[in-house]
Amino acid sequence: MPGPFDVAVVGSLHLDIMVQAPRLPGRDETLIGSAWHRKCGGKGGNQAVAAARMGARVGFGGAVGRDEFGVLLHDHLLSVGVDVSLLETDPTRGSGMSVAVEEEGGEYGAVVVSGANRGIVTEGLADRWAGLWAAPVLLLQNEVPEEANLAAAEAARARGARVVLNAAPARVASDEMLALVDVLVVNRVEARMLTGEDGEEALRRLHDPGRDVVLTQGPEGLMVMSRDGSMGHVPPFPVAARSAHGAGDMFCGALGARLAAGEDLLPACAFAAKAAALHVSMTEEERAALRYDRVAG
C-alpha cells in the first residue's frame, strides 16, 4: 500500500497550453499572440506539486486519459516526488486540458476541458485509494465532481484527517460536503460568486462553527475567520508580479504542507501567502526551483 503521506490530494490534472498575447481577445476577434508553451496543471496537480516542493510527502488520487497528455501529467508529478501509484487511466475519455491566454500585465483567462477528471469513479473510491486517507491533511478543489470530493472527504475524515477545500472554480456546495470541510479557501471572485458579498461580510456568510474560512485577496493580503468567529489578517508580501497564473494553487499546496507539519492556521497562511507571492514574481524556470527553504528564509 502506498504511503505514508503528509498531504493527500484528490483532484484534477490538465495539460495547459499557455498563450501570450497583449490582452484577452473579444468576441469574434482573432488576436495575434507572441508565444506559447505547454505546462502540466490542473488545480489538483498544481497543489500536489506545490505541497511536495514545500517539503510534504504527497499522494495523489485522480485520473488521466490513455493519451500523450496523460503520460506527460503522470511523469510531471513523479518528477517532483508526488506518489502516483493511485493515479487511474480512463479508457474512454481524454486527459484534461486547458488553453490559457496570458496578458502582458500578468493576468490571464482560461478555458478548461475536464476530460477524464469528470469520470472519476466514486463507487469503491474509499477502498481503491485507501493509502491516501492516513495523511493528516486532504486537499480538495472543485475541478472534479462533488461526488468524488465527498467520497474522499468522508474516507479521510473517518481516519481523522483535516479536510481543506479550495472552492475553485466556484460552484454551489451541498450541505453534506460543507459539513466535512475543516478549512475553506476562497479568493475574492469565488467569495463574491458564493455569497454576493466582499471582504468581511463574505467571510461571515461563509463562516460556520465547524470550519475556518480563508479569503485570499491577491496584492491586498488575506483574511481568516476562525471557527470561533475571530478574525485574522495576513498583510501582502511585496513583489513585482510577472504572472498570477497558479498563485492560488501554490498558496493551497503550501498551506496544506504547513498544516500537515503541525503549524497553526494563521502562520501557515502567512507562509503560504509568501510562497504564492514569490511564485507570481518568478519565471517558469525559477518557479520550478522554488522550495521550502527559499520561502522559509
Residue 297: strand, helix, or coil? coil
Q: Which amino acid type is present at position 204?
A: R
Catalytically active residues, by annotation: 249
Residue with cell 486527459: 95
Helix (H, G, I), strand (E, B) or coil at 195: helix
Contact 160, 134 (CB under 8 A): no
**Contact present, 276 and 254 (Cβ < 8 Å):** yes
- Give the residue ranges of DSSP H helices in 174-263: 175-178, 188-195, 199-206, 247-260
Virtual torsion, Cα 178, 183, 185, 190, nearest 10 deg: 20
Q: Which amino acid is at 142?
A: N
Inter-CA distances, 27 with 24, 31, 35, 103, Å: 10, 10, 21, 16
CA angle 82, 189, 101 (to 5 degrees): 65
Q: What is the CA radius of gyration of the chain?
A: 18
Whole-number Å distance between alpha carbons of 201 and 216: 14
